[in-house]
Structure 1
Amino acid sequence: MSFRAYFYITLYVIVVLILLISFKFTKNEFPIQERSRFTGYLTWHGKLHHFDQESYDTSLWFLIITNGLSSVYAFIWASKKDLPKKVITYIYQENGSRTTAYFFNMLIAYYITFTFISGVALYLLDTGKLFSAFAILHNAFELAMMLLLLQGGKITSNYFYAIMGCYIFLVNLLDIALPWPIDGTWFKAQGLCLDFGFYIVLTRIYKSTREYVEGLTSAQLPLVNEDEHLPFEDDSSISPTIIQHPQQLLLLIFSSAVHIFGNCFSTIFMTDSRSYIVLILSCCITFPINALYIYFDTHCTSVLQSKRILLPDTSVWKIVIIILWSLILSLATIRLSFVFS
């Protein structure tokens, strides 16, 4: 690693330590936990201000319905394997290796589905230890998408399954073992880390792909793989819409930003029930947009000869910086919650 890499990593580690130390100066009084209306178990929140059960339930059912429908359509669109060649998106690494976006799209579909399941669990259980056993799967598929992209768009190592298994086990173990309010804070913090990390990863991918596409001219667009550029010979009824590649990636970036906004808002203003409604409604926007991305990716072609997503440099030090940035933003959000709640 270069001196610059060491400098930034050291700087960000210091910021993380400062944020962690700052929690020592927070108040030690925490609200009395409310109980779930259906199970009677203790929840991860106290008495909420401005709480309206009907409004809360309405927003939750809106989440369940929109995400349920989105998950169905996402699987229908993502599972198609007999797509015309020019519609298929290829994920490229810097070394030239490539794979289709099939596995990435399938993980997005699973991500939407487990968000739907988390919504049902939230309605029946309320936030708490039992709820986290379901909600962790929502976070796990966020991690899975980042790991998949890190491996070039497909699972190339058993470390993928090892990391996923360890993550799910560790988060659930700490949720079970830690007392209130550390358990809820831990679960929220790790979820925010993944949200911020996913946004950073998507932004880097969009930037690298856009720069690659903008650098191409008609004379500079040789097809390394000839099977990427074939006419629609099979079905004359297929008339794909043309998109401005890679602008469809902005859908994922926008949906990720909306999700982060809702998650941060509900964290910072955790004693106000309206902040939870904001989070729920943000999910009603985020995950249908993710399904829409799958539709565009599997039904649209590009003015270019092929749709290529170029993955950025994934050097170890850059991955470390992404992790540190995610941790800093997560801790800063949690720290703000002690100021406004």
Structure 2
Amino acid sequence: MSNHCIAITLAILCLLIVLGSFVTVDQQDIPEQDKSKHTGYPVWTPPLEGFIGRDNDEKAFAMSLFACIMMSISGYYIIKWTRNNNNKRKTTFFILNDDKTVPTFEFDVNLGFYCFVTAFASVVSLWIDLGKLWVPLGILHNALEFLILVNMHCGGRITSSVFLGILLLYVVLSTGITIFLPWPYDALWFKMQGLCLDWALPIQFIRTYFNTKKHIKNDSGVNPLIRDDDDDERGEINDAVYNSNNDVIVHHPYQILLLILASASHIIGNVTNTIWVYEIRATYAFIVSYAITYPAYAYFVYLDTQAISVLPRKVIHLPDTTCWKVVLVTIFSIALSFLTIRLGL
């Protein structure tokens, strides 16, 4: 049996073990469902003193408002920096499977919309709380994460004519299933798919970082597909150090660590809030994670679009999209999602 078959078998085994552990969950282990103090509708959180809509909730409200402001500012600057990136030396390229290179423009724009959509969904959640009523907005947050993952899988540019249909189908089916499922299966279904995407992002970013480092070590980051016509005249050394405009210099690929930081902060906040659902401090950690995640994404885009590299070019080598590796990442993301939920019961 080949190594990749063994890896997939072990991943499936881990998933089955986690799923099997749900058999021991007692009805009393399921958190009590609270009602929104603003709308009166049931929500997906238990009664929690100091949370939105309850007494002494100034801290949670202020922290949530601050996080929303940070997300909005991050989204604004991401779009601004992406639109103003006209310098070829500052442009970053994706390369997938050592094939063609694609500018990271589409990826960066997706991050900007990701910030705006999440900020809007978070602001609305301050009024209607997290529940069925919030799902039509919350699913957009998940859809943007799915879009970012697919964008990376496609090498930085989605050219498939059927992808939009797939994305719309995901949004409609996921929203419909969540709305019609009874408690607690509605919250379980929505939380599970959200955590799957949240786990997949840091996994893919970590793979991207190490894959890029490996290629830089092997070929000094130079890719002949994106060299200028005047590279030979100017020389590689001059191309790397020439900086008459005193531009910001990034030590490529360390800016990718910001993607890892952002996605890790997001999943840590979600995991903490899922496991310790009755702890107000876990809720605070969840809110604070949003104030860290999206500025980190914005900082990445700043370095991605406004900085030059000490190398001849900024090339990010995306992780291998071999079928068995994609399946492995998917299975592990699902297993980690269910494990997170199980630890909270």
Q: In the TM superposition, what is the alpha-carbon distance from 1:222 to its structure 2 partner?
A: 6.1
Mapped pair 1:226 → 2:233: no
Aligned to 1:64: 68
The farther-off stretch of 13-22 and 124-133 is 13-22
Q: Which runs of 5+ in 2 are unaligned?
A: none
What is the aligned partner in structure 1 of residue 34 from structure 2?
34
RMSD in angstroms over aligned alpha carbons?
Answer: 2.0
Structure 1 segment 90-239 matched on structure 2, within 5 A? 90-217=93-220, 221=222, 223-227=224-228, 238-239=245-246
**Counterpart of 2:44?**
44
- The SS at the match of 2:344 is helix
Structure 1 residue 273 displacement after superposition: 2.4
SS state of the match for residue 225, structure 2?
Answer: coil
CA distance in 2, matches of 1:228, 1:197: 39
Between 289-298 and 25-34, the greater mean CA deviation after superposition: 25-34
Following the alignment from structure 1 to structure 2, what is the Cα–Cα distance between the partners of residues 229 and 140?
Answer: 42
Which residue, 252, 266, 288 being the options, matches 2:273? 266
Q: Distance in 2 between matches of 1:221 and 1:199?
A: 26
- Tell me the secondary structure at the aligned position of residue 37 of structure 2: coil
TM-fit CA distance, 1:129? 0.7
Q: TM-score, normalised by structure 1?
A: 0.92
Q: Displaced runs of 4+ in structure 1, greater than 6 A? A: 228-232
* Contact 1:229-1:305 at 8 Å conserved across structures: no
Quote the residue 1:24 is aligned against. Answer: 23
Structure 1 residue 5, shift from structure 2 partner: 1.6
Q: Which residue of structure 1 lines up, in the alignment, with residue 248 of structure 2?
A: 241
1:216-265 residue CA offsets vs partner (Å, 9 max, x unmatched): 35xx9463333387799xxx994321111010000010111111110000
Aligned to 1:78: 82
Pick closer, same or farther for the CA change 1:14–1:242 going to 2, 3 Å. same
Q: Which runs of 5+ in 1 are unaligned?
A: none
Counterpart residue type for residue 199 of structure 2: F
Q: Does 2:258 match 1:251?
A: yes
Instruction: For 1:190, give the aligned amino acid.
Output: Q
Q: In the aligned structure 1, how far is the partner of 2:329 from the partner of 2:343?
A: 21
Aligned-residue offset at 1:42: 0.8
User: Does the residue aligned with 2:89 lie in a helix, a strand or coil?
Assistant: helix
Mapping 1:308-319, distance limit 5 Å: 308-319=315-326
CA distance in 2: counterparts of 1:198 and 1:76, whole angstroms: 24
Partner Cα distance (2:322, 2:337) in 1: 23
Amino acid at match of 1:292: Y
Match of 1:335 among 323, 332, 342: 342
Contact 1:108 1:290 in 2 (8 A): yes
Distance 1:42 1:245 in 2: 48
Percent identity for Structure 1 against Structure 2 = 34
On the 8 A contact 1:85/1:228 being kept in 2, the answer is no
Partner AA of 1:88 in structure 2? T
Q: Whole-Å Cα distance in 2 between the matches of residues 211 and 72 of structure 1?
A: 33
